[in-house]
Amino acid sequence: MEQIRILIADDHAVVREGTRQILEQEPDLMVVAEACDGEEAVNLAGNTKPNVAIIDIAMPRVDGIEATKQIKTLYPGIAVLILTAYDDEQFIFSLLEAGAAGYLLKSVRGRELIDAVRRVYAGESVLHPAIARKVLNRFVPGQGKPTRQAQVEVLSKREMDVLKLAAKGLSNQDIANALYLSLRTVQAHLGHIFNKLQVGSRTEAVVRAMKEGWVTLDDIS
């Protein structure tokens, strides 16, 4: 069984221990490192090469926003999942702009966290649709603003079809059903999209598409 390698970064030891216990009950999840602050999280990300980094916002030395920025800059293949007590919209905007793949509150149940780790590893979003819409609205280009690079030069028509459905919050299986494709084909298309856009998750890909004007609010309504 392929294991998902996980880094946990939180300044509270009891939270790290509890999170590790929840995750390691699953045979496909393995915690490879724990960090007590953002600086240590960045260093451990380079040393241990996790697939998913679970990061809190409020940490000493380097906070979660800056740690996310550094990890995504240095190691873009690592999916960052925010697990925090803060639900302020400014934190959400800042973290998604920094490259986070998902955002969860610490009130979630263990099963939801496990599912979220698997989903961001698979390139899926774990944002609530209402939050996603509010966040994506922030990135709508101004009227008449030219895009930096035409979509047709970057993504194929089929890849854009997949990306627009991903922007609606559909799961990989739902996208496959909608486009009459196999699940493996959808996963392959998403992999190509991530590589072309140099991102690590659907959330990052959709935000990039919104910034470029390739996906509009009408597409995700």
Q: Is 107 found in the same domain as 22? A: yes
Asked if residue 127 belongs to a domain, the reply is no
First to last CA, the chain: 38
Please tell me whether residues 167 and 89 are part of one structural domain: no
Q: Are residues 104 and 149 in the same domain?
A: no
Q: If pLDDT is split at 50, 70 and 90, which confidence band does 133 have?
A: low
Instruction: Please compute the mean of the pLDDT values over residues 95-116 and round it to a whole number.
Output: 88
Q: Which amino acid is at 178?
A: A
- pLDDT for the residue numbered 145: 47
Query: Number of folded domains in the chain?
Result: 2
25/100 same-domain check: yes
**pLDDT of res. 144:** 43
Question: 40 with 91, same domain?
Answer: yes
Residues 208 and 179 in one domain: yes
Looking at per-residue pLDDT, the higher value among 186 and 125 belongs to 186
Looking at the fold, whether 150 and 65 belong to one and the same domain comes out as no
CATH code at position 115: 3.40.50.2300
50 and 20 in a common domain: yes
109 and 192 fall within a common domain: no
Number of H helices, E strands in the chain: 11, 5
Which pLDDT tens digit goes with each residue over 8-23? 999 999 999 999 999 9
Could you tell me if residue 136 is inside a domain?
A: no
For position 195, which CATH number holds?
Answer: 1.10.10.10
192 in the same domain as 164: yes
User: Is residue 132 assigned to a domain?
Assistant: no
Q: Where are the alpha helices (DSSP H) in 11-149?
A: 13-23, 38-48, 64-74, 89-98, 110-121, 129-138
Q: Is 129 part of any domain? A: no
Residues near 103 by beta carbon (within 8 Å), at least 6 away in sequence = 81, 82, 84, 92, 95, 96, 126, 127, 131
pLDDT at residue 143 in the model: 43
| More confident of the two residues 98 and 133 | 98
**Around Cβ 206, how many Cβ atoms within 10 Å?**
30
pLDDT at 200 over 80: no
Task: pLDDT band for 41, please (50, 70, 90 cuts).
Answer: very high
pLDDT given at position 146 = 43
Domain residues for 69? 4-121
Q: What is the mean pLDDT of residues 105-134?
A: 80
- 27 lies in the same domain as 103: yes
**Mean of per-residue pLDDT scores for the chain:** 85
Note whether residue 166 is domain-resident. Answer: yes
182 C-beta neighbours (distance < 10 Å), count: 10
In a domain, 113, yes or no: yes
Q: Which two tokens stand for residue 80?
A: 């960052």
Q: Rounded to whole angstroms, how far apart are CA atoms 126 and 145?
A: 30
Same domain, 64 and 158: no
Q: In the predicted model, is pLDDT for residue 217 greater than 50?
A: yes
Residue 88 within a domain: yes
